[in-house]
Amino acid sequence: GQGLSWGHLGQTFLAYIILTVIILLGELVLDDFLEAVVINPVFPEVTTSFGWLTPEGTGRSINLFGHAGALLFYSSVVVFLYYRWRGPLNGKKDYAWRPIWQRTVKRSKSSTISILFLMGMAIIMQHAGMTQLLAEMMSEYTGRLFPTISPVIGALGAIMTGSNTNSNVLFTTLQQQTALSLGLAVAWILASQTAGGAIGSVFAPAKIIVGCSTVADADSGTVLRLAVISGGVIILLLAVVMTLMTLFGVV
């Protein structure tokens, strides 16, 4: 087959270089310019049938042209135009952009839908007072042991949903409110949440299955078992670290 040259390797990594440059420009150089259009939605006061009140106020502002998604879009357009001009790396004359676009849309459907529903569920739980009630219950029954189980909660969220991002969407507010109820350092608790989620996503069944699908004759059961053992040890170490930090008054 055709050998891999340094030129081909550089062309392969060029997309990531362009992505990095555009993000740095957008965040550090052109941030004021990109923030020219910011959407600040205002939501009315909402009261549930159980008396939980969410006061009127603005939601999270949306930086239309400087949002992380917008920067990714700019990067995608630049990379697409470059490769469209240069042609495919395998030497073929035709640049089959349509199948690439179709595969991208197909593969992103499930994750996009899941994130939308998870975000909706998390916001409903927050505005209905469910998250606050769960936080009060956890603070009552776990007390000062809560930092120990904080990374475990993050890991369980990632295992259930398949990613650290989704775990944070589900449980960040819960962990934050529980930490506030117990008088704990919120930053450390949230760091524990996302650290546990990062490790838990390593052996999330959804990711294991997707990864094994790219390798012929891969045994997803064996991979999952080995990943659970190694990931479980790391989560246990995180729990021990959080316990020690609690005992020494850091958290």
Q: Is 139:182 a contact under the CB 8 Å cutoff?
A: yes
Tokens standing for residue 139:
């603070």
- 71 & 122 share domain: no
Q: Which domain holds residue 45?
A: 1-95
Q: What is the pLDDT of residue 214?
A: 65
Q: Which of 47, 68, 95 is the last residue of a domain?
A: 95
**Residue ranges for the chain with pLDDT beneath 50:** 1
Containing 27, the helix (H) or strand (E) segment is: none
What totals of helices (H) and strands (E) does the chain contain, helices first?
10, 6
Q: Residue 28 gets which letter from DSSP?
A: I
- 167 & 49 share domain: no
- 14 & 134 share domain: no
Q: What is the pLDDT of residue 251?
A: 87
Q: What is the pLDDT of residue 1?
A: 46
- 120 & 59 share domain: no
With respect to residue 105, please indicate whether it lies within any of the assigned structural domains: no
Scanning the structure block, which residue is given the tokens 């959407």?
A: 39
- 155 & 34 share domain: no
- 171 & 241 share domain: yes
- 88 & 201 share domain: no
- 119 & 54 share domain: no
- 91 & 66 share domain: yes
83/190 Cα distance (integer angstroms):
40
Can you state the percent helix, strand and coil of the chain, rounding each to 5? 75, 5, 25
Q: Which of 43, 72, 95 is the last residue of a domain?
A: 95
Q: What is the pLDDT of residue 119?
A: 78
With respect to residue 164, please indicate whether it lies within any of the assigned structural domains: yes
9/2 Cα distance (integer angstroms):
13
With respect to residue 104, please indicate whether it lies within any of the assigned structural domains: no
- 138 & 229 share domain: yes
Sign of the torsion angle spanned by Cα atoms 87, 91, 94, 100: negative
For the chain, how many structural domains are there in total?
2
With respect to residue 102, please indicate whether it lies within any of the assigned structural domains: no
